[in-house]
Structures are given as structure tokens and as C-alpha cells.
Structure 1
């Protein structure tokens, strides 16, 4: 690939030619696949042949010959936890790309050599033992050997955590300190000594809350870094789902990163309360004082969720409280959102949780119709066809993630055999219900979009298990649409983002390999060689293409 010169106000700012450009266009004049696109400012102004694009070229136009590479619209992760990850990113090591435990432990040793003794080293999810050739995670003794003078905390998804000896001392992991906690949440050796391993979300929170938080400046730097990593992966946008403990005070770093012009992905925020018992007060204050869509094209409030009521927040193996009292509280909170015309994204994995949510939505909709608010179930893995049809009647959508990618064995053990049931996401697509794909990263899953799309297309998890039958898989185009234009629907932006046609935002990705023709098993290996956001490069592996400053402000009109 080659790069031309710089920019000129009067002509095209950027032209990409000799490419295989998937447009996903819905206008009457743009073909599904074109050779060239022309960018002026932050918008596409032409999509067609390379020869026709030549007419837009000026003396200062940036010119990219793609040499036959595949180009797709910018990818949008419709459910991720970027904001929370930014708080700790500068204190983390990421194991997501490591293929052996030996190399993962070596990364801990390397970091320990860089940091003063006593500095925390954290690995906070986004990996799984099945990705390692050894087929297991680390032991406390191995962490001690890798970093004998540093506290280390390793988190595996939301399943378990592990402290090395120094880390256990720093958090005060002693029998007296945990006397009032569930003993089943901690591992003991044969002599009855605590090993440093702990199980389940409550114990992970217990440990994490005892690890010193980074300064606000470090959180801002971490937020900028994680957004650059997402751009490197080919993402141009995210819908941030908040997360446990992510209440009103958790957004200072992302807003400061935005003010400094250091965000590299368009970020849409879903807001919720900080913990059990605070839901009505904190959500009520959001609805009173926060203007929906407050922000600009880089950072904007999109609505409420994914946690609406903590007692009704389920898990892959944990049921939620959806009894009569909880159902009434859900209804009251959803009614508050509907009355103020807010979008809601609601976490529901188990079938009974989804049923309770849909029942509350149907009840609310009798008074305040939600059809135009683009509400969505997040996850929905155990929804049956009847539940999907109820979702459609409400005008709502489904945000689903490849939880089977890392957690195949857990999902198959606790859920129905995925080969014998109709997948809710395919059932939704076949009924013209919008489906957005995402990762649920950066702790519960990888944030790599091509690994996620690979599972939806192939049904193969990271351990090699086939956890989705051929009849229930998505086509490559269906998966791409759910990561682009259909994902944009959930933030009311499908007319501006997710397509490459005249008038849409110039958000696109040049790929290392052709997504539509590589072998299925190689989809997960695809990488971005150039990520462009509003006409500027946010990631580049191309000679002569540099990462550019932040784009212009963009506004959106909500239905």
C-alpha cells in the first residue's frame, strides 16, 4: 500500500483506491462493493470506481492505494466496559494475546523489573486458561517467582482471582479478615492455609476494593490508552455498559480524556447506579439533571443500564431475584426511564430474568410506549423464540456477545445444548429485530471484534469446541452488519455510521486479510492495518500514514 501527500481545504482530503470496499449501503446509487471512497472533512462524498475517484484528487489530497485490501465500515462494539477499564489500564498487563502461560508469566517478570518494589501488577480479565498451551492458569507460587517483591492480582473473567504472597499481605487476606465472608469463596490448602485463590464476583470485589486506585491523571492516561487499543483492533465506536460499582462518580476520567481530545473511539454511555439500594435515588438524579444525548460525536450519554436493579442482576450460573417485589421495583424504574424518553439496555442472561424484564416493559408500554426508544436486552442467551417475538412487538432489540468464546464448557454445562436450540440472535435477525454484536470486554471476554465475529460465524470457541450448530450460525455479512450499521441503530446513528456511502461519517477499517474470503478458521486472525474515524487515522500500520488529531464535533437527532 502507498500513501500520497497531505490535505487541502478545497478538494478531497482523503481518497482510498484499488480496494475491495464493503459499503453496506442502502441508497439507490452506491453499490454493495466499490473500489474507491472519497472523504471530505469527516464525511464520505463519493463511493465508486478508482478511475472516477481520480477526479476528486487535488494537489494536497491524501491518497491511499489499498492494493486490493478489504475495507469495511468502522466496527462498533455495542456492549463493552471501556470506561471502567480505563481506571486501571495503566496498572494492568493484558494476557489476551498470549498463547502460553510461560509467556504470560514472563510478562509479569518483565513488568516487575520496570516498577519499584511494592507496586501492584494486575491482570484483570480478558484471558482464559484454554488459550494457553499448558491449558491452565498460574499458581500463586509461579506469581511469587515472577514478581517476588510486587503484589500481583490475577482475575480470570468473573470466575476466580489469585493473589501472590505479597498481594495477599497487602489486601490483608487472613482468616480473621474474612471471618464474616462466605468460606466457600476462598481456597485452602491441605494444612488449612489460605492459598490466595478466591472464587466468584463477591470475593473478586472484596479483593479489588483493597487494591489502591490509580490517580485521576493515571486514569485519564489509561482511558486514552485503552481507547487507542480499541482503535488498533478496528473499532471506531463503543456503547459502554457501565458495570458493577460504576455509579455517578465513575465518569470523571472519561470526560477529562474527552475534553483533552484523547479519545480514539466514539463512546456512548449507559448510566446506572453505584450499588444496591441506591437505584431509585441515583437513577432519579440522572433523569433530572443529565440531558439525554449530552455530549458530541466523540462522547455522548445514550441512556440507562445495563444494571437497573442490582438484586435482579443475574449471571451465567447465578439466578437473580425476579420475585414479586423485585418485579414491581423493575417496573417502577423502567417507568421512570420511559416517562423521560430514555433508552434502556438491560442485562438479562437467564430466561426467567428476561421474562420478568419483558413483562415489566409490556406493562410500562401500556402507559408510555417504548417502541421508538430502542430499548434492548443485553446478552439474552437463554431467550426462547416466544421471548424474541415479545421483544419485537415492543420495538426493542438484542445486544449479544460471544460468551461461549471463552466460557464454552460453563455455558454448555449450565445452559441448554447450543446445538439443539434456536439461537436467540438468529431468531431475532430472521424476524427483522435489530441485533448488535459486542464483546462484553474487557474482563469477561476478549475485546477483539474478529474473535467475536469468528464465533458467531464458525461456532468454534477458543478451546476448539463447536458450541453452535451450523443451522444457528450467522453469515459473514450478518455478523458484519451486527458489528456496524445495526450496532449503530442502538444509539440512533444508523443513518450516519456503519455504512460507507455519500453523506455518512468516514469511519472505516482497512483489513490485513479479506474477511469475506479467508478460511473460516482464519477470521479470528484478521487485524486492522488502518483505522479511520471521521476521516482521520486513529491507528495505522501503513508507512506514511500517521495518527491524526481529534475530529470535528458531530450531532445527532434522536427520534
Structure 2
């Protein structure tokens, strides 16, 4: 508390550490009339709720000014494009759609279909949408709907410790949605942390491919893949499955949470780097790049062996060129070429020569989206 009060003696300050832990200063507790004694620590979802409600928006709709302000922060980190794989409970997309219609977005935003399937009735509603109520790739290079995810059936939610095969009561609706997605040409970006889920899902995709071979062209993506093993990666590559690796794994000090990105890179499978921001890990791409290259976790210790780290060039391609392919925008974005949209960033240090453990200190001095300057440092 002393450190937070010294940093912000007059302004309420709230810092989220992860889903269920955070910190606040005295002014923040006073603003919400909460007595937390001398402790700055917040624990549990209920403990965080007053703060998350206060700093986001109670009706889950934000003002255009707040959206643009947050986008400017991301532009300042060098980001020009994001993929929002959220659920209806995480916010209303109407304000974003309005801004995109006016061509006012400094950040390209693609999103998944907003629905919540958790029981028979809601699954039927979701299937109605997937089967024709909505269309995949309803986007332009600026904004719009791409695919399904990150939880296409909400009860199918694994973690890195998950070791069991999913029972039919959960796997049945998940399979039904997966088949519907393939039949209707949807790309899927699904939360797959454990090896057990990865194996069961690969078995399902093999079954889907027998009926719908085109599924191999849809770039279905396994997100996180903390527990996936080399034999699973090889199977996935053969099936056309891609991988989205997120630096949320850097927030853990457990070796089991470190995905095998070296194996991913060597497999020939399509894979991309991201963060899982903003409530799980920092959005800063240079923090992610440093992690992928140096292998150090949040405690500064090595998270995995050297053969599971990647080179600077591999990491950079995964965060740019390969991500553009994951989002089906490689014809317009992902590389600097004549005829493509001019998204680029100018850095204050040389990414290729700086010490690997100092890559996170790199800062953009200028960011452009579509040839327009969206961020420029004060210097």
C-alpha cells in the first residue's frame, strides 16, 4: 500500500494482476467506500468486482472517447491490429461498429461471433446463428466478424492441469457446434490448454475432415497449448490446425505452463504470437517477443529449455506475418510490400541486436495504420 500511495497519493489507482488478484491504493478504496485495512491486496472475483465495475463500464458499453483512448495506448505499444475473441458478457461491440463505419479506428479490430452456448436451448440458438444467421469473414481490413471462439461451447473450459477426456454431456454439444462451423466455413479459435483436450479435439477434427475435407483450409487454431506435446503438434500440422501462443504463459513460474513454441516453429504448422490481454497478461508485444526469445518467465527465470525458444526473426514473423495469415488478411497486411496497407512501427532500439532480456524495453517512436500516423512519441 505504501508504494502505491507514494506513486498516486491523490488519484485512485487499481492494478489487475490476473483474473482473481489485484492491488489498489488508499484513494481507490476510499472512492468505493471499502475498508481494506492497510492491505493493498484484492483477492477473489467478488473482491475485484467493485473495482472492475468502476474502471470499465457497468452496462458493458463504452463511450467512443474511451475506446479511442485505449486504442491510442495500444498504438503507443506498436500495435495496429487485434483479434477480440470475447463473449457477450465482455462487452457490446456496437460503439466499435459505429466508429468503424465512420473510418475512425486507428486500430484494426476483428472479432468472433458473439453468442453464449451453455445448455441445450442456448446451443440451439448458437447453431441457428452458425448455420446461417451470421456469416464468417464479414469484415473488411478495418473491422468485422471473422470466426468463432474462444469458447465455442462454454462448459468445455480446460486448464493446463486438465487430464481427463471430456464426457459426452459436454463434448456432444461442443462436437455439434464444431461440425456446424466446418459445414458453414467458419474459422475457429478455441481455448486448448491441456494435452488431454488437444488430443480429443484432434480426434474430432479428423472425424470432421472425413465429411468436410475443406476444414483443413479454415486455419482452425488451438489457443494457448500449454500442455501440447510434439506428437500432437505433428498431427495438428497434418490436419491444417494452427496455433495461437500467448504470453499469459509468462505469468506463471511453473514449467508445465510453457508451450513448446520451438517445436511449433519446427513443425511447419502455422502459428502466431499474442498476449491474451488485457486481463490476463500485458498487451505489449515486446514483452511477448522477449519471452519467446529469452524463455524467461515473470520471475526472470527460464521457463523452458533452449530448444523450445525461437530466434528473433521467427518470433517477429509469428507476431506479424503469421498472425496476418491466422486472421486471413495476409493479402493486405503482415509484411511491408508494394500494394499492401502501410501498417508499420519505428522503434527506438534495434530489435535484432539488443540483449534478449531487454527487448521489453523497446519503445515505438512512431506507429502508422494504413499509412496514417496514429502514434508519435513526444520526442
Tell me if TM exceeds 0.5: yes
Asked if structure 2 preserves the Cα contact closer than 8 Å seen for 1:228 and 1:263, the reply is: no
Contact 1:459–1:467 (Cα < 8 Å) also in 2: yes
Determine the structure 1 residue equivalent to 2:35: 165
- How many corresponding residue pairs? 373
1:346/1:378 contact within 8 Å kept: yes
1:367: how far off?
Answer: 0.8
Q: What is the alpha-carbon distance in structure 1 between the residues aligned to residue 220 and residue 49 of structure 2?
A: 33
Q: Separation in 2 of the partners of 1:108 and 1:535? A: 37
SS at match of 1:506: coil
1:261 positional shift: 3.5
Quick one: higher RCO (CA 8 Å, sep 6+), 1 or 2? Answer: 1
2:338 is the counterpart of 1:502: yes
- Tell me if structure 2 keeps the 8 A contact 1:339–1:368: yes
1:290 positional shift: 2.2
1:239-279 CA-to-partner distances (Å, cap 9, x unmatched) read 11115834xx7322322332344322111112242362224
Aligned counterpart, 1:257:
99
Taking structure 2 as the reference length, what is the TM-score of the superposition?
Answer: 0.88
Asked if the contact 2:295–2:304 (Cα under 8 Å) also holds between the matched residues in 1, the reply is: yes
- Structure 1 portions without partners, runs of 5+: 1-100, 113-120, 130-136, 153-163, 169-194, 544-559
Normalising by structure 1, what TM-score? 0.61
Larger helix share, 1 or 2: 2
Q: What corresponds to 2:272 in structure 1?
A: 436
- Mapped to 1, the partners of 2:279 and 2:52 lie a distance apart of 16
Kindly state the Cα deviation for residue 287 of structure 1 after the two structures are TM-superposed: 4.2
Task: Summarize the Cα distance change of 1:287–1:511 in structure 2 as closer, same or farther, 3 Å threshold.
Answer: farther
Partners of 1:229 and 1:261 in 2: CA distance: 19
C-alpha separation between the residues in 2 aligned to 1:243 and 1:204?
22
Give the C-alpha shift of residue 425 in structure 1: 2.3
| 1:110 and 2:26 matched | no
Change (3 A) 1:244 1:107: farther
Q: Deviations over 1:345-394 (max 9, x none)?
A: 01010111112222221111111121111111011110111111121111
Who wins on radius of gyration, i.e. which is larger?
1
Shift of 1:204: 6.8
Offset of residue 428 of structure 1: 2.1
Residues 124, 443 of structure 1: 8 Å contact kept: yes
Task: Indicate conservation of the 8 Å contact 1:273/1:283, yes or no.
Answer: no
RMSD: 3.1
Shift in Å, 1:122: 4.8
Instruction: Decide which of 20, 25, 31 is 1:150's aligned counterpart.
Output: 31
Partner secondary structure for residue 97 of structure 2: helix
Is 1:473 the equivalent of 2:309? yes
* Counterpart check, 1:299 vs 2:199: no
Determine the C-alpha separation between the residues in 1 that align with 2:351 and 2:41: 43
Alignment counterpart, residue 452 of structure 1, candidates 288, 291, 294: 288
Which residue of the other structure, out of 235, 238, 261, is the alignment partner of 1:390?
A: 235
Tell me the alpha carbon deviations over residues 278-317 of structure 1, each in whole angstroms, 9 at most, x when there is no partner.
Answer: 2441353254232322232210211000111111112345
Q: 1:522 to 1:452 in 2, by over 3 A?
A: same
